Structure 1
Amino acid sequence: MVFYFESTIVSPPALIFMGVDKHENEDLIRWGWPEDVWFHVDQVSSAHVYLRLKPGQTLDDVPSAVIEDAAQLVKANSIMGNKMNDVGVVYTMWANLKKTAGMEVGQVGFHKEKEVRKVKVAKRINDIVNRLNKTKREEHPDFRAEREKRDRLEREDKKKLLRDQKKKEEEEEKKRKDDAELRGYNSLMSTTNMDKYDDGNDSDDFM
């Protein structure tokens, strides 16, 4: 089961979600999307919270208020973190998460530490948490099927882009050839070339 939330401070709302337990977190780690941003309270146990970016978005494109929403949500869903002030929350793109065979269920590391960002949450802001909880819904998604569908659509988009690009290149090549033929025809029919075939006689005069 996954809990889904909407950050309505932006339009359209940003999608935030988290697994109900560490086993769900394992599935989220395995079948995450390249567009997913992972959040966790630093140094203490907490829920794994994800923010799903729009295609083409980067972390630098995410409004700070949306980052704050996700950070508040992950703090509120940490037994220890929820009781503490000045809590650090780390976040990074899903692709930077590293899972090895020796790790416990729900535990992750990072491929590149330098790609992990950190934000400090001074205290829990109930207005933010309550606003997010009002949008909360429970679903039982098939993580693998959703990821495979996402990848299939991406492949289809790339194929369409390649087809459109090839068509454009073919049209441009045809235009270049047509322009070259037209220039050759105009050169052939120029006054200079026509003068070569002018003998000075009127073609209608047979006398």
Structure 2
Amino acid sequence: MVFYFTSNVVSPSVTLFMGADKHENEDLIKWGWPEDVWFHVDKAGQVAFHKDKDVRKVKVAKRNNEIVNRLNKTKKEAFPDLRQEREERDRSEREDKKKVLREKKEKEKEEEKRKKEEAEVRSYSTLMRTENMTTNYDGNDSDDFM
């Protein structure tokens, strides 16, 4: 079972996850998303972070139960399939990347085609074709100039 808490202090709101035991916490960490920040609080209140470099610490002069009470009001319990959620998200991200690459390749092909057409218009190869030529010969073979 995983506990969900919603914090509306920041915009957009964030969801906090809490495992009921160490096994669920390990699954949360294993199947969590790369941008997640993980921490552990033991019974004495000691906090240990999964990635210390991602932590921004704030000192609080006095304990404020208002914050804890506000979070407890948003508490929900669920049995999510964390692995499936992560795999779906990863699949979606891969599809988005492939789509962007396809669009980029299409734009490159269109640009190359446009440049080729412009180069062809500017070249002299189309000027001296026989089908484009006309004559001033009218069919009279007379040398009458005057």
Q: Pick the TM interval, shorter chain.
A: 0.7 to 0.9
> 1:1-207 counterparts in 2 under 5 A?
1-41=1-41, 45=42, 79-81=43-45, 89-93=47-51, 115=53, 117=55, 119-122=57-60, 123-184=62-123, 188=127, 203=136
Contact 1:3–1:18 (8 Å) recurs in 2: yes
For structure 2, which runs of at least 5 residues remain unmatched after alignment?
Answer: none
When normalised by structure 1's length, the TM-score is 0.54
Q: CA deviation at 1:188?
A: 4.5
When normalised by structure 2's length, the TM-score is 0.74
Distance 1:177 1:92, change over 3 A: farther
Contact 1:92–1:117 (8 Å) recurs in 2: no
CA radius of gyration, larger in: 2
Aligned length: 135
Distance 1:8 1:179, change over 3 A: same
Distance 1:40 1:119, change over 3 A: farther
Q: Separation in 2 of the partners of 1:121 and 1:40?
A: 18
Q: Separation in 2 of the partners of 1:33 and 1:162?
A: 23
**Which structure shows the bigger proportion of residues in strand conformation?**
1
Q: Separation in 2 of the partners of 1:16 and 1:188?
A: 72
For structure 1, which runs of at least 5 residues remain unmatched after alignment?
Answer: 46-78, 82-86, 94-112, 190-196
What is the root-mean-square deviation of aligned Cα atoms in Å? 3.1
